[in-house]
């Protein structure tokens, strides 16, 4: 099972989609970086949060490239230096997307609540689940270990599936807020849409790969087993 060509054939669509998504991100982000915006990423995020009454959500600069995220536990929006400081459409678009997650948190957006609850189990499933499947295969096809591993990996798939509407909704809120608050006009928003759409493709690719991997495990150790 460790070098099964069938596995690579099964996940090939997800891998190709992921590569295409990465290419799209690089090109759309580079293009949006070249166009000036009226506010920096941090200022745009602050404006969106304050307009929604979320003065309690702080904004911090953190190291890393595109390490931007919202921490619902600490109520902190963390932005990478190029997003925090830059006055470009790319920076504003990403900052607005992360602000969208803060709005979801404030409004108790159901998919986000489910996703946050699933994080610990998904973290276990992505590591221990695969390990149990491998151990089960090594130990003379130990069915209990294999299915326990498959069940844990299923938590990863569940997380990815729930994460999709969370990310898509955050982007939708970002685009709406940028126009409604007068931060960007429709022409400028077009560049932001391209960046956020490319980023969304990466989540779709990750979800597809998780689903196809789970299907491979199920086929490999059930009726599709070739041993």
Just list the catalytic residues: 98
Angle, CA of 92, 95 and 101, to the nearest 5°? 140
Tell me what percent of the residues of the chain surpass a pLDDT of 90: 80
Over the stretch 75-88, which tens digit does the pLDDT of each residue have? Answer: 999 999 999 999 99
Sheet of 76-79: strands edge to edge? Answer: 58-61, 76-79, 69-71
User: What's the pLDDT band for 223 if we cut at 50, 70, 90?
Assistant: low
pLDDT of residue 159: 95
pTM (predicted TM-score): 0.89
Q: Identify the burial level of 125 via C-beta atoms within 10 angstroms of its C-beta, where 0-12 means exposed, 13-18 middle and 19 or more buried.
A: buried
Tokens 């970086």 -> residue: 33
Query: Tokens representing 115?
Result: 């996703």
What is the rounded average pLDDT of the residues 55-65? Answer: 96
pLDDT of residue 87: 97
In the chain, where the domains are located = 5-220
CA dihedral 188, 184, 107, 202 (to 10 degrees): 20
What is the rounded average pLDDT of the residues 213-221? Answer: 91
User: What's the pLDDT band for 225 if we cut at 50, 70, 90?
Assistant: very low
């Amino acid at each position: 099972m460790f070098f099964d060509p069938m596995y690579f054939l099964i996940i090939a669509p997800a891998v190709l989609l992921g590569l295409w998504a990465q290419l799209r991100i690089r090109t759309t982000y580079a293009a949006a970086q070249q166009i000036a915006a009226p506010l920096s990423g941090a200022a745009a995020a602050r404006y969106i949060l304050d307009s929604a009454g979320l003065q309690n959500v702080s904004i911090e600069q953190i190291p890393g490239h595109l390490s931007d995220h919202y921490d619902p536990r600490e109520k902190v929006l963390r932005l990478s230096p190029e997003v925090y400081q830059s006055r470009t459409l790319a920076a504003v678009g990403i900052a607005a997307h992360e602000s969208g997650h803060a709005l979801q948190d404030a409004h108790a957006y159901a998919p986000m609540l489910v996703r946050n609850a699933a994080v610990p189990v998904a973290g276990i499933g992505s590591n221990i689940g695969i390990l149990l499947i491998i151990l089960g295969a090594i130990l003379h096809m130990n069915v209990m270990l294999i299915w326990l591993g498959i069940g844990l990996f299923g938590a990863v798939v569940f997380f990815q599936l729930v994460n999709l509407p969370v990310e898509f909704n955050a982007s939708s809120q970002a685009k709406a807020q940028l126009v409604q608050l007068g931060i960007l006009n429709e022409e400028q928003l077009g560049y932001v849409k391209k960046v956020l759409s490319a980023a969304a493709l990466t989540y779709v690719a990750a979800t597809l790969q998780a689903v196809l991997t789970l299907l491979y495990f199920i086929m490999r150790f059930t009726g599709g087993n070739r041993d």
